[in-house]
Structure 1
């Protein structure tokens, strides 16, 4: 059994369930580090830098001198790898992988970097880390992409094609099981952060058109984010207070309960002005696994997760009227929604069960250690 160190940027983030799945499901004796683009804490919340003088030196260099390469921090990570006898590192997000490449190299530990979305597409982020990415592309064993669009983006950035592995995050299809779409009312469900690339305003505007023809239709939007208050205001201004429910962040169990009461899942993902894009949204996979028909956009990994015209409908980004038109098809016909949703579950079972992505990751991690 090998020793796997998983490095993630955040201690806890409600939108990063895919990272927790890696922690729960991947093989190996696992340790977890976190603390931003470069880890400074272990899984018990203790500093990797052990001396008070070292911590002071680190804080001065980071917060006052604004340094990105800090020797005392790198040395602490190298020491941690050696003390824990780490056999391989899985870095969650490209920025994290780029930052820890030097420490992995100094410790002689193989590195696998899992990209997720903004780390490949957000222009400012890519520009800031571009030089470090090039070093990571040379050293790391593998780079995991979650969509074919991301595979191509990584190639454009300079990642060696033979090191890129396509492995969408996947979904636990035993937890997200077929719901009773046929007996659900015209209830639409959207789940995701309230940020530009999720375009929650487009969802509300499309629903307004649906609501004009189907007054009994409802929309539940789960999540939080910088656009939350603006969406609250929009809902009020459009007179949709009685039909749109903004729940905030919910637990997985609560989300499953909502899916069981819904007829259709909606998400209007777009490319943000700063270039940020989706990978393959886990909520799309969860909805598909639940047998909900999906109305979304021709965007990133969604184009593969949803078979347009078979398991749902995909419209052009910012096509609000087109989205409303497809939503109305499901609002009008529960039987049709059930048929499309059932096809969606079959597609997810065949292609996106989490066991597939975990198997690919396990194989990559093992091969990075053995070299074959």
Structure 2
């Protein structure tokens, strides 16, 4: 799900899914979104895949319905040739909140959202063979799928809760805006000030 641009890594997902469908022929790849690479990706999928759909841009409720039907979310982001890259794709948080395990890549802020081996799997950028292995792991192991589903939901509740994160951010602002002398005095009272020492060899 997302804009069909180079940084989304969709061509590597198609390559991975071609390997997945060798083992599990009935598994279908559904791509939601549009962009400059759509025609090229559709042509690639036509050559490599048995079951796939390109749905184009869809309203939020349709996206939600597909996420409820899905077995996992795959988002193998990469750094584009131009240097363009992701931040932290919100769809990864949304998927976990809905109990959907994620297979993605070690890219930008993604490891902050997905804990490898706990809430999902992370492959190196462009490593479609490992991506395929991770997808097959989750499709073949129901207990692992359930574990990732539960862990992902819990992680979103604890680490991406709007109210608690806003409170943490407000505390950072308050500390930063406090006068310097007050900050230093507070640090000393907590024993946080560390004095540097120089050791001679």
The TM-score range, normalised by the shorter chain, is 0.7 to 0.9
SS at structure 2 position matched to 1:278: coil
| Cα distance between partner residues in 2 of 1:349 and 1:202 | 31
Would you say the 8 A contact 1:284–1:305 is kept in 2? yes
Shift of 1:356: 3.9
Structure 1 residue aligned with 2:144: 336
Question: Is 1:325 equivalent to 2:133 in the alignment?
Answer: yes
Question: Is 1:195 equivalent to 2:23 in the alignment?
Answer: no
Question: Is 1:217 equivalent to 2:27 in the alignment?
Answer: yes
What are the superposed Cα offsets for residues 300-353 of structure 1, whole Å, 9 maximum, x if unpaired?
A: 111110110111110100100000000001121233212111111111111012
Summarize the Cα distance change of 1:276–1:367 in structure 2 as closer, same or farther, 3 Å threshold.
Answer: same
Question: Is 1:279 equivalent to 2:75 in the alignment?
Answer: no
| Cα distance between partner residues in 1 of 2:85 and 2:52 | 26
| Cα distance between partner residues in 1 of 2:167 and 2:31 | 33
Structure 2 residue aligned with 1:227: 37
**1:246-257 paired onto structure 2 within 5 Å:** 246-257=54-65
Unaligned stretches of 5+ residues in structure 1: 1-190
Larger fraction in helix: 2
How many residues get paired? 180
| Cα distance between partner residues in 2 of 1:267 and 1:308 | 14
| Cα distance between partner residues in 2 of 1:256 and 1:361 | 29
TM-score under structure 2 normalisation? 0.81
SS at structure 1 position matched to 2:125: coil
**1:98-247 paired onto structure 2 within 5 Å:** 191-240=1-50, 243-247=51-55
Summarize the Cα distance change of 1:268–1:367 in structure 2 as closer, same or farther, 3 Å threshold.
Answer: same
Summarize the Cα distance change of 1:369–1:263 in structure 2 as closer, same or farther, 3 Å threshold.
Answer: same
Summarize the Cα distance change of 1:357–1:276 in structure 2 as closer, same or farther, 3 Å threshold.
Answer: farther
Shift of 1:366: 8.5
Structure 2 residue aligned with 1:347: 155
Summarize the Cα distance change of 1:368–1:336 in structure 2 as closer, same or farther, 3 Å threshold.
Answer: closer
Q: 2:69 aligns with which of 261, 268, 272?
A: 261
Shift of 1:359: 4.3
Would you say the 8 A contact 2:14–2:48 is kept in 1? no
SS at structure 1 position matched to 2:126: coil
| Cα distance between partner residues in 2 of 1:365 and 1:258 | 39
| Cα distance between partner residues in 1 of 2:167 and 2:18 | 43
Shift of 1:358: 4.3
| Cα distance between partner residues in 2 of 1:258 and 1:274 | 32
TM-score under structure 1 normalisation? 0.45
| Cα distance between partner residues in 2 of 1:361 and 1:225 | 35
| Cα distance between partner residues in 2 of 1:192 and 1:323 | 18
Would you say the 8 A contact 2:14–2:49 is kept in 1? no
SS at structure 2 position matched to 1:348: helix
Q: 2:121 aligns with which of 313, 325, 331?
A: 313
